[in-house]
């Protein structure tokens, strides 16, 4: 049974991803003869992209070169980030979790040893349902809001659950006899990556029904529907079926509270306050990792980082976009890391 991130599998796409980045850089070269890699190059989490892009737009309005951002999963981002130092390699990776020891060692093996870690806030995927669902518990005196354990969700989604439930009642006899229908983003999505880490892996560990296999493999029998989360069809898929559930970003969720509602997980419902306190079970911390060796190589690199944690960003436009604020103690640590260029680990 596999429950961890498989670094070898993630490395398979590194060359393809790096080729995409080089194509993007080449496009700037062809369109701008003055281009000389003064552009900051950022790779990593698609779920952090709204925040990295907002800061890039702010920095881009004050400088000649707007940062280039290539989105992918967090694991892919770390792999690309760790390939080397110099103008051919990214300056920053955005991450929905802390860098793993395997990724840290991969960086070290490739000469990427001086890394600054910056915590930027908390965020979350949300497991939500259509507001029109007719959900009614079969036991009396139960709170009628939908409340699942991590194990319940794992059983509904997992390919390697040997019970193969077709309805929610097959998972728990207090649940109604409603067919399981769940919309999910693809494997390459950072939204799904965070969900898998917080829900699928932990739900699998709590469950005794798993067959030999991967805890994070999703069923392929039509009850779990995979759609690119940037596609308009993604949200439409959730709301067109009144019995549908879906995995989506907190940003998309918070803009559509008239159509969808958060599922309670272990009694906790998604909200800004619950995500800020990390009490909502899918909530997680967000990080930037910066190559210290690139500070004197790429103009404006630390200006970008300082803007990310500036008061105008954290108390202003990033807060408006749904990024939670750091605690006062976390801010002190972040500012100390930036001021003293402290190496991660």
User: What's the mean pLDDT in 282-306?
Assistant: 93
Q: How confident is the model at residue 149 (pLDDT cuts 50, 70, 90)?
A: very high
With 70 as the cut, is the pLDDT of residue 213 above it? Answer: no
Helix orientation angle between 101-109 and 74-81, rounded to the nearest 10 degrees: 20
Contact 92, 120 (CB under 8 A): no
User: What's the mean pLDDT in 267-279?
Assistant: 93
Kindly provide the residue ranges of all beta strands, DSSP E only, lying in the chain, ordered along the sequence: 41-45, 68-72, 92-95, 115-130, 147-148, 182-184, 224-226, 245-249, 260-262, 264-265, 283-291
Q: pTM for the full model?
A: 0.82
pLDDT (tens digit per residue) in 96-108: 999 999 999 999 9
CA 291 to chain centroid: 21
Distance separating alpha carbons of residues 239 and 335, to the nearest angstrom: 43
Ranges of H-type helices in 93-220? 101-109, 150-157, 190-195, 201-206
Distance separating alpha carbons of residues 247 and 262, to the nearest angstrom: 10
Q: Which of 160-164, 222-226, 239-243, 307-311 has the lowest mean pLDDT?
A: 160-164
Q: How confident is the model at residue 342 (pLDDT cuts 50, 70, 90)?
A: confident
pLDDT (tens digit per residue) in 46-60: 889 989 999 999 987
Decide whether 7-123+285-340 matches 124-276 in CATH topology: yes
With 90 as the cut, is the pLDDT of residue 344 above it? Answer: no
Q: How confident is the model at residue 5 (pLDDT cuts 50, 70, 90)?
A: very low
Contact 268, 279 (CB under 8 A): yes
Burial of 220 (0-12, 13-18, 19+ CB in 10 A): exposed
- What is the per-residue DSSP string for 229-289? TTSHHHHHHHHHSTT-EEEEEHHHHHT-TTTEEEPEETTB---HHHHHTT-STTEEEEEEE
CA 314 to chain centroid: 19
Q: What's the mean per-residue pLDDT of the chain?
A: 84
Q: How are the residues of the chain apportioned to helix, strand and coil, as percentages rounded to the nearest 5?
A: 40, 20, 40
Tokens of 135: 């959900």
Q: How confident is the model at residue 191 (pLDDT cuts 50, 70, 90)?
A: confident
Contact 14, 76 (CB under 8 A): yes
Contact 262, 253 (CB under 8 A): yes
Tokens of 118: 């910056």
What is the third-level CATH fold of 124-276?
A: D-Maltodextrin-Binding Protein; domain 2 (3.40.190)
Rg (CA), the chain: 21
Instruction: Give domain 7-123+285-340's CATH superfamily.
Output: Periplasmic binding protein-like II (3.40.190.10)
What is the structure's pLDDT at 2? Answer: 42
Nearest to 71 by CA among 188, 235, 186, 232: 188
- Number of Cβ within a 10 Å radius of residue 14: 14
What is the structure's pLDDT at 211? Answer: 56
> Phi/psi of residue 249, each to 5°?
-70, 155
Distance separating alpha carbons of residues 42 and 65, to the nearest angstrom: 13
For the chain, the domains span: 7-123+285-340, 124-276
For the CA atoms of 221, 227, 229, 232, the dihedral, rounded to the nearest 10 degrees, stands at: -130
Distance separating alpha carbons of residues 212 and 217, to the nearest angstrom: 11
């Amino acid at each position: 049974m596999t429950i961890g991130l498989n670094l070898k599998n993630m490395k398979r796409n590194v060359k393809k991803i790096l080729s995409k980045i080089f194509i993007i850089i080449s496009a700037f070269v062809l369109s701008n003869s003055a281009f000389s890699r003064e552009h900051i190059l950022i790779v990593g989490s698609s779920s952090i992209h709204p925040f990295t892009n907002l800061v890039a737009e702010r920095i881009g309005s004050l400088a000649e070169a707007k940062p280039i951002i290539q989105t992918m999963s967090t694991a892919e981002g770390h792999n690309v980030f760790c390939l080397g130092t110099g103008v051919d390699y990214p300056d920053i990776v955005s991450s929905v979790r802390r860098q793993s020891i395997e990724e840290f060692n991969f960086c070290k093996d490739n000469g990427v040893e001086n890394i600054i870690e910056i915590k930027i806030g908390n965020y979350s995927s949300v497991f939500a349902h259509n507001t029109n669902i007719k959900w009614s518990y079969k036991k009396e005196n139960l709170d009628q809001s939908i409340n699942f354990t991590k194990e319940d969700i794992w059983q509904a989604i997992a390919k390697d659950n040997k019970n193969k439930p077709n309805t929610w009642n097959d998972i728990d006899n207090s649940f109604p006899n409603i067919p399981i229908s769940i919309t999910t983003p693809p494997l390459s999505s950072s939204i799904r990556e965070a969900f898998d880490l917080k829900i699928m892996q932990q739900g699998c560990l709590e469950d005794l029904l798993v067959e030999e296999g991967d805890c994070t493999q999703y069923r392929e029998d039509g009850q779990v529907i995979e759609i690119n989360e940037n596609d308009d069809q993604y949200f439409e898929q959730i709301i067109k079926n009144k019995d549908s559930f879906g995995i989506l970003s907190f940003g998309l969720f918070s803009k559509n509270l008239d159509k969808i509602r958060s599922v309670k997980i272990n009694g906790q419902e998604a909200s800004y306050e619950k995500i800020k306190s990390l009490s909502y079970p899918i909530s997680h911390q967000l990080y930037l990792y910066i190559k210290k060796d690139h500070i004197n190589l790429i103009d404006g690199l630390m200006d970008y980082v300082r803007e990310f944690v500036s008061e105008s960003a954290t108390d202003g436009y990033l807060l408006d976009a749904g990024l939670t604020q750091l605690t006062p103690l976390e801010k002190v640590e972040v500012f100390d890391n930036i001021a003293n260029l402290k190496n991660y680990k």
